[in-house]
Amino acid sequence: MKNLAAKTLAWTLLFTLVLGGMAMAKETRKIGVIVVDIQGDFTKLKNGSLAVEGTDEAYMKTVEENTRKLKEAGFLIFATQDWHPADHVSFFTNHQGKKAFDVIKLNGRDQVLWPPHCVQNTPGAEILLDKKLFKAVVRKGMDPRYDSYSGFQDDGGKKTDLDKLLKKDGIKKVILYGIATDYCVRATALHAIDAGYKVIVIRNLCRGVAPDTSQKAIEEIKAKGVVVLDDLDLEKIIGN
């Protein structure tokens, strides 16, 4: 009888683990990951033209390890990629008499003038993570007339394929992190909320241009319903 009870308990535990694993797998299929603009020109690692503080080798290793962890857990992972033409409107070099980080009015909006960055087919535009991690890479900022911080649409309102790709896979919640907190992460998170997704931003996997604007961005996205976690926590992600 003791042997029978022990076997029954073992099978019960195994069955519970299997069901738990199946339930988790089902949940992960509804959750997508958006890795924002992990590109050479935004990193100190590659001495990028628009390198953000804290984007050194240690940061890149942490992002790669966590992205791989999510891939192994069954999440579908998408990347966004700035992919600008050389004559892009956001480059200060395309505005006579202007310098980097000047702000001008453009189509009724404030436009920051950046150093040329992520120019199509240049090393600085390359994504620095293993491309095999991604189901798809969504390029943005290709129209020379409009900046495009968001992975969902540019400043002119033209949509990328990101929303279609997520909906095609039945994704209802997205995990989001990358560069930069106060620009592309912020804009992508807000447009994801607008598109009806639940959104979780992993703060320690993001890096921002400036501390004050990054903190302001975090407060803004939280006010819009984005969940902000300090670290990647799969239990909290699935539970939220």
The pLDDT value given to residue 180: 98
Residue 216: other Cβ atoms inside 10 A: 15
Q: What is the mean pLDDT of each run of 10 residues along the chain (240 residues)?
A: 53 48 58 98 98 98 98 97 98 97 92 97 98 98 97 96 97 98 98 98 97 98 98 89
**CB 128 within 8 Å of CB 169:** no
181 class by beta-carbon count within 10 Å (0-12 exposed, 13-18 middle, 19+ buried):
buried
Q: How far apart are CA 69 and CA 64, in angstroms?
A: 9
Q: Regarding beta strands 173-178 and 227-229, do their DSSP bridges make them parallel or antiparallel, or are they unpaired?
A: unpaired
Element (H, E) at 221: helix 211-223
CB burial string 186-206: b at 16+ within 10 A, e below:
bbbbbbbbebebbbbbbeebb
What is the model's pTM? 0.88
Which positions are annotated as active-site residues? 37, 140, 184
Residue 12, strand partner residues: none
From its phi and psi, is residue 147 left (phi > 0), alpha (psi between -120 and 50) or beta? beta
Residue 240: other Cβ atoms inside 10 A: 13
Residue 171's φ and ψ, nearest 5 degrees, are -75, 135
The pLDDT value given to residue 27: 59
* Full set of structural domains in the chain with CATH: 27-84+124-239 (3.40.50.850)
107 class by beta-carbon count within 10 Å (0-12 exposed, 13-18 middle, 19+ buried):
exposed
The pLDDT value given to residue 239: 83
Element (H, E) at 215: helix 211-223
The pLDDT value given to residue 15: 47
Q: How far apart are CA 166 and CA 142, in angstroms?
A: 21
The pLDDT value given to residue 22: 45
Residues shown for the chain: 240
CB burial string 79-93: b at 16+ within 10 A, e below:
bbbbbbeeebbbbbe
Tracing tokens 């902000």 back to the chain, one arrives at: 228
Contacts of 229 (CB under 8 A, 6+ apart): 200, 201, 202, 203, 236, 237
The pLDDT value given to residue 240: 79
Q: Is the dihedral of CA 21, 26, 29, 34 positive or negative?
A: negative
For 32-58, write each residue's pLDDT tens digit: 999 999 999 999 999 999 999 999 999
For 82-100, write each residue's pLDDT tens digit: 999 999 999 999 999 999 9
